[in-house]
Structure formats: C-alpha cells, structure tokens
Structure 1
C-alpha cells in the first residue's frame, strides 16, 4: 500500500498537468509553434545548464549511470533495427522512435518527484546524453541528409556541453546569475507537460494500428536492457532507479520534429509517439514499482 501511494504521488501530478493540456487543447486548439520554440531554445537549455552546473551535481559520481544510459540508448537501437527487419517496416522510421525517449517533457518532472531535488542533476545528465545522441546519431538514422553540425550547434546542445564543462571544472557563473537562469529554466517542466497534453489531442483512430509497434517497443525494449546494465555497471539504488525510469519512458516528442523536417513518415512517427505517451500511464507505474523499493 505504501508503494502504491508513493507511485501515485509521483504520477498523479504529472498526468494531471498532461490532462489539463489535453482538455485545453480540445477546447482551444492552440498553435504551439512559437510556444514550443521558446521552450526548446530558451527555457530547456537554461534548465539543462543549471542542472548540470549545480554545485550539488558531481559529474564523476554519475559517470556509471551516464555510461549505462548511453549503452541503453544504443542497445535499444540495435534491437529496434532487428525488429524493423523482422516486421518489414522502415528502420529509419522505427529505430529513432525506440532509441530516444521523452526524458525531457516527462522524464524530468517524474524524476524530480520520484527521487527528489538532490538527484535531479542525474536526471538532467541522462536527458543531455540522450539529446546529444539524438541530435547526432539519431538525426543521421532518420535521414542521410540530416545536418549533424546544425543540430549539434543548437542552443540545447551548446547548453549541455557548457553544463558538463562546468560540472567537470567547477567553473560557473556567479550565483546571482544562476538564480536568474533557474527562474527561466524551471517553468519548462510544467509547460512541456502542458504541451504534451495538447499534442495528444492530435491522435486519430486510424493512426492506432500502425503506431502500436513503436509505442510498445520503446518501453519494453528499454526495460529489457535496463536491469542487466544496472548490474553490469554496479549502480547503487538511486542510480538504478533513475536508469529503470529512463528505460521505461515513452518515445521522444522531438523525434516527430526530425521526421517532419526530413519527410520520414511523419504521420506514422506521430502516431507512435502519441500512443507511446498515452501508454505511459501503464509503463511508468511499472517502472516506478521496480525503481522505488530501493530508494
């Protein structure tokens, strides 16, 4: 009973905000283009930088977790490629959906609620590593025409690089500036959940069948690899919980932007992403049941 209460305390606030976004999206049908650009280009980079550059975040302590997460992303990509071959579907469509999870919109708020502010830097590091692989290798998988250089010079990638540099060297802006950066960055968490809820209104009944493959494969293949990797890297309870939650997250919303940019079956990718995020109501509690007992 206590475990169920802890899981509810984590997921109910998150899905409440998503639900508000869904209800508002159904009623107002807002255009989120400018809103999402501000969140992605300003607020998210500042949240990532301040999370990594925080004095309480010690990069060396989290290197095993970061290594395990990188291998998890790459391993799910290999399994997704095999799945695409077996199901005779496009690897350029399926593989990035399965490789890259929603560790920003959903993962960061969930990690904050599940593991507390003291472990939030580790969740930001996982998000940053996922983004670095997504905007380099993931973009190239999506399309051979992808400009890796352009993606790696995006504000989010620059903020990640600077954040890891600050974590490694201890060099960071004065605290008075860091406070201002946090004020701009931290509202990103509820705003991205709100945006996710609005996006779920775009799901259509005809998209369900083609979207189920990626929607289920993303968390199932992730969880299949998470526990062996946690054992291989000898992760402590907190890091193991972070990795399990990371593994079970739904597909990354940002993959739709790449699929749309390069014309790689964007409607099918959107269905996989939207269904996957809807199914998070099943897979996230499962992951938390595995992750929280050791906390």
Structure 2
C-alpha cells in the first residue's frame, strides 16, 4: 500500500516542487504565458478528451454533476457562515475557503489514483468549480458580473465540442483526437509546474490564525464530500473523486481575485500555502481511506 501511495502522490509533488525550486533558484518562469496557454488551449483540449473518454457513459454521471454542484454550493454557504460567525471579512474569506485546487492538484491525483475514468470525473468537477470561480466568486469579490466572464470558462468549449460528438453519435476524426490528446497531456505537468511556481511567490502571515482556519477548511471539504457522496449513494470512482476533489487545498485562483480586488490577499496567500502543506499529510491519509 505504501509503495502504491508513493507512486500516486510522488509525481504530483515532485513536479510541483520543480516549479517551486525553479523560482527560488532565481530562474524566470513565464507564469502569465503558461497560464494563458493552459486556459485557452490546454484546458479545453483536456476537457474534450476527458469527456470523450466517458462516451456513452456520460449520462451515467449526471448524478455526479449534480452532487458536484451541491457540494460546491454547500462549501460556499458554510464558508460564508464561518466567516460571519467569527467576524472575518466575508467577501475575502468565502471565495478562498470554498475553493478547491481541483485543477492543478486534483486532476493529476485522480488520474494516477483512479485511472482515465477518475480523471474524466475530476475534469467534470473542475469544470463546474471553474464556472463558479468565474461567476459567483468573481461577483462576490468585485460586486458586479458581466456576461463576458462566462467566456473565460474555456473548459466549457471543450465540453461542448465533446457533447456535440457524443449526443450526435458522431465519431470524432482521428486527427482531432490525437491533437487534443497531445495538447491535453501537456496541460497536467504545466499545471503542476505553475502550482509550484505560484507557491514560491506567496508569503506566510498571521500563521497561527491561518493554521486554524486552514484546518477548518480541509476538514469542511472532506466532511461535505463524504456527506454528499453518501447522500447520493455513490460507490467506486464517483465516490472517491468527489471526496478527494472536495478535500483539495485552497485554489491559486483565489489569490488572484483577492489581489486584484484587494480582498486581504496576504491572508488568502497564507491559506493557500498552509492548506497545500497540509495536503502533504491529508492526501496520503485520504487515499488510504478511499482505496
């Protein structure tokens, strides 16, 4: 079991560590360029191939999509209630506490732990999470929302294209599948390198307070994931992926929102850093429990 866990976890943390060391070594990392490549090209390709691999089984995961939606809504509601009760800045904390790093960390973990189907389900979870980030979280942080924000959820384009082929019972051209598979394959290591590079630029402040808040965040995610999976009667990959994705650390995107709209970015950066460090312990424990 230990060697199996190591085989699953080590690629994720090693590649992220390379990105971290790269920045700490003083080398340039074009974060903006890599992020844009991932957002506009890599992520849609990854979503397309992931959904295509579900194929005719897509209708079977409708409950998983509903469960994902419910879990994210609960994460957001409880995060807001927690911030309100403890007199924390609600707008600053709700957008970070509810978020999960279901893309950079969650997708590769689900791939290595649960195979291609696990990755496809993880992509579905991440797509809904991204939709929330670019709409609800953006509205909470900024106070307004434009229709153009939906166009930034580029994974929806890949999902839409896959649905066109699946629902229309049309076989996708071989060249299209090969091209998107190749580009989608690049996306995961780039995500992990970017995660490490981003962590290297964050600074830890108010560490005692942030450790307690971060511990609550991680426990909340696991509790909600487990509760929703049980409520829906999930077994197999649906159960494991939902719980694992809900238990991921705070998403890097939360810091971008906090920094752009001045929503206590130092606190958010600390939560990202601490919850990611906590995941070095929680992820092995989670995988041991789920597998």
Q: What TM-score do you get using the length of structure 1 for normalisation?
A: 0.90
Bigger drift between 273-282 and 192-201 goes to 273-282
In 2: Cα distance, 1:291 partner to 1:202 partner? 33
Q: Where do residues 92-241 of structure 1 align in structure 2 (5 Å cutoff)?
A: 92-147=91-146, 149-154=147-152, 155-171=154-170, 173-206=172-205, 208-209=207-208, 211-212=210-211, 214-241=213-240
- Say what the alpha-carbon RMSD is for the aligned residues: 2.1
Would the alpha carbon gap of residues 131 and 228 (structure 1) be closer, same or farther in structure 2, given more than 3 Å must change? same
Deviates more, 1:223-232 or 1:153-162: 153-162
Deviation of 1:264 after TM superposition, in Å, equals 2.2
Match in the other structure for 1:45: 44
**SS of match in other structure, 2:148:** helix
Q: Distance in 1 between matches of 2:159 and 2:226?
A: 27
Whether 2:18 is the aligned partner of 1:20: answer yes
- Name the CA distance, whole Å, in 1 between partners of 2:119 and 2:204: 37
Deviation digits for residues 192-224 of structure 1 (CA, Å, limit 9, x no counterpart) = 111111112123343534543553333211111
Residue 175 of structure 1 deviates from its aligned partner by 2.3
User: How many residues get paired?
Assistant: 289
Does the 8 Å contact 1:244/1:290 carry over to 2? no
Q: SS where residue 19 of structure 2 aligns?
A: helix
Which residue in the other structure is 2:249 paired with? 250
Q: Is the 8 A contact 1:131 1:157 kept in 2?
A: no
Residues 152, 170 of structure 1: alpha-carbon distance in 2 compared, 3 angstrom cutoff: farther
Tell me the TM-score normalized by structure 2.
0.91
Gaps of 5+ in 2: none
Aligned partners of 2:11 and 2:195: how far apart in 1? Answer: 14
Aligned to 1:5: 3
1:106 is paired with a residue whose SS is helix
Q: Which moved more, 1:268-277 or 1:67-76?
A: 268-277
Q: Which moved more, 1:265-274 or 1:99-108?
A: 265-274
Looking at structure 1, the residues matched to 242 and 167 of structure 2 have their Cα atoms a distance apart, in angstroms, of 22
Contact residue 93 and residue 265 of structure 1 kept, 8 A: yes
Please give the alpha-carbon distance, in whole angstroms, between the structure 2 residues aligned to 1:61 and 1:104. 22
Give the direction of change, closer, same or farther, for the CA distance of 1:87–1:120 in structure 2 (3 Å limit).
same
8 Å contact 1:112–1:119 — kept in the other structure? yes
Output one character per residue of 1:71-128: Cα deviation in whole Å (capped at 9) or x when no partner. 1111111111111012211111111212221111001100000001233211111111
Residue aligned with 1:249, SS = coil
**Cα distance in structure 2, aligned partners of 1:249 and 1:164:** 28
- Change in 2 beyond 3 A, CA 1:165/1:233: farther
Q: Distance in 2 between matches of 1:165 and 1:283?
A: 39
- Report the secondary structure of 2:194's partner residue: helix
Q: Contact conserved, 2:211 with 2:274, CA < 8 A, in 1?
A: yes
**Matching residue of 1:34:** 33
Partner SS for 1:186: helix
* C-alpha distance in structure 2 between counterparts of 1:134 and 1:81, whole Å: 15
